[in-house]
Structure 1
Amino acid sequence: MDGRRLGSLIGCAGGLAFVLVSAGGVPGAWWWRALGLVLAGAVLVAIVVSRAPAPPPPDRRALRIYGACVLAMVLAILVGARVLNALGETDLVRLWVVLVVGIHFVPFASAFRQPLFTRLGATMAAIAVAAGAISPWVSWAPYAGAVGGGLALLVFALLGLVRPDV
């Protein structure tokens, strides 16, 4: 499986997990879960039927950037979650995860020569920040932010297959 298809498969799994795990805290949960499943199905179909040529294999520099970003993401999630839990802000942990996952994609744009990663990272970060900003007044905002982050991952996983130039 080429890197584009593998990346879309990983994005699909992560996006669907965000949606399925967090939708229960959002009004209309069944609708959000159904939308997530439909998008995931579209990604899987696109993985199979896409005729886009495989991108060249990543070079060592790209793989180093990838590894460093994934390691930094995992550490940031663990440390941030611990801090938020200690502060009694457990509801914000899911938004912290969306923010960090989004930010970790940004360096991939140059590493893999795919501008789509910048747009994905910015979208996820914006969703997390917006949901966090309204969370003092909207109790389900952290759940909605995680669902929104998951839907963004699913949409960009699909775009990466059908419009990789986006």
Structure 2
Amino acid sequence: MTTPQTGRRPSGLVVGSLVAISFGTVFVLVNSGGLAAPWPLVIRVAGILVAALLVVALLRVGRRAPAVVTGGPAAGFMDRRYWIIVAIEVVALFGGLNVINRVLDRPALAVAWVAVVVGVHFFGLGWIWRMPRFHWLGVVMTVLGLAGFLVHALGGGADAVALVAGVGSGAALYATVALALRDVVATTR
């Protein structure tokens, strides 16, 4: 994710990390509400604190390590392949949610489906952006989503599914940002 030879950060690190922190926070805040007190408050405060610390660390790293400038073709969010992956993700996400909520009448599984679809989309992003860490994030989020389905199949309630698939996915996104920042700091020393 970093360029060890130059000690520079990837050009998309700041934007990508802000997106991951934002979605991680949404996963944590939305999916911790069904737990017994005091856990929703504890998890939400911890999630917001982690997000704030990651943003501060990201800003510090962004100032210290200059971005890699590439002279190649359009990349990042301007890459056509990115938009193809996003389009497939949207169709899978909303198509699957429609089936889960309207056909199967199992709204507790919605967050598990979201985790699976978002996890799978990271495989495509990791490939087009040549970021192996996204493959690991894809594995973790997909497994968390599948674990949410398993929890439900074994009799777990919506709160347990949300904790595993939702809060777990938020933690995975936070961890990915933390690891990326650690790598940049390690290469700039």
Report the TM-score, using the length of structure 2 for normalisation: 0.79
SS in 2 for 1:17: helix
Q: In the TM superposition, what whole-angstrom CA distance separates every residue of 1:27-74 from its partner, at most 9, and x where no partner exists?
A: 411221122112211220122101344244574476122111111111
Could you tell me which residue of structure 1 aligns to residue 82 of structure 2? Answer: 66
Q: Give the letter aligned to residue 67 of structure 2.
A: A
1:36 to 47, 57, 60: 47
User: In the aligned structure 2, how far is the partner of 1:123 from the partner of 1:53?
Assistant: 30
Q: Unaligned regions of 5+ residues in structure 2, if any?
A: 1-10
User: In the aligned structure 2, how far is the partner of 1:162 from the partner of 1:125?
Assistant: 24
User: In the aligned structure 1, how far is the partner of 2:31 from the partner of 2:83?
Assistant: 27
1:54 to 52, 56, 67: 67
Number of corresponding residues: 165
Report the TM-score, using the length of structure 1 for normalisation: 0.89
Cα pair 1:20 1:36 within 8 Å, conserved: yes
SS in 2 for 1:106: helix
Could you tell me which residue of structure 1 aligns to residue 104 of structure 2? Answer: 87
Deviation at 1:9, TM superposition (A): 0.1
Q: Unaligned regions of 5+ residues in structure 1, if any?
A: none
Which shifted more, 118-127 or 66-75? 66-75
Could you tell me which residue of structure 1 aligns to residue 27 of structure 2? Answer: 18
Divergent runs of 4+, >4 A: none
Residue 100 (structure 1) aligned with residue 108 (structure 2) = no
Q: In the TM superposition, what whole-angstrom CA distance separates every residue of 1:93-123 from its partner, at most 9, and x where no partner exists?
A: 1110111011101122222121110011110
Deviation at 1:158, TM superposition (A): 2.3
Deviation at 1:77, TM superposition (A): 0.8
Instruction: State which structure, 1 or 2, has the greater radius of gyration over its C-alpha atoms.
Output: 2
Q: In the TM superposition, what whole-angstrom CA distance separates every residue of 1:75-96 from its partner, at most 9, and x where no partner exists?
A: 1111000001121111101110
Question: Measured at CA, do residues 133 and 3 of structure 1 come closer, stay the same or move farther in structure 2, by a change above 3 Å?
Answer: same
1:141 to 160, 171, 177: 160
SS in 1 for 2:32: helix
Q: In the TM superposition, what whole-angstrom CA distance separates every residue of 1:114-139 from its partner, at most 9, and x where no partner exists?
A: 11100111100111111210113221
Q: Give the letter aligned to residue 51 of structure 2.
A: A
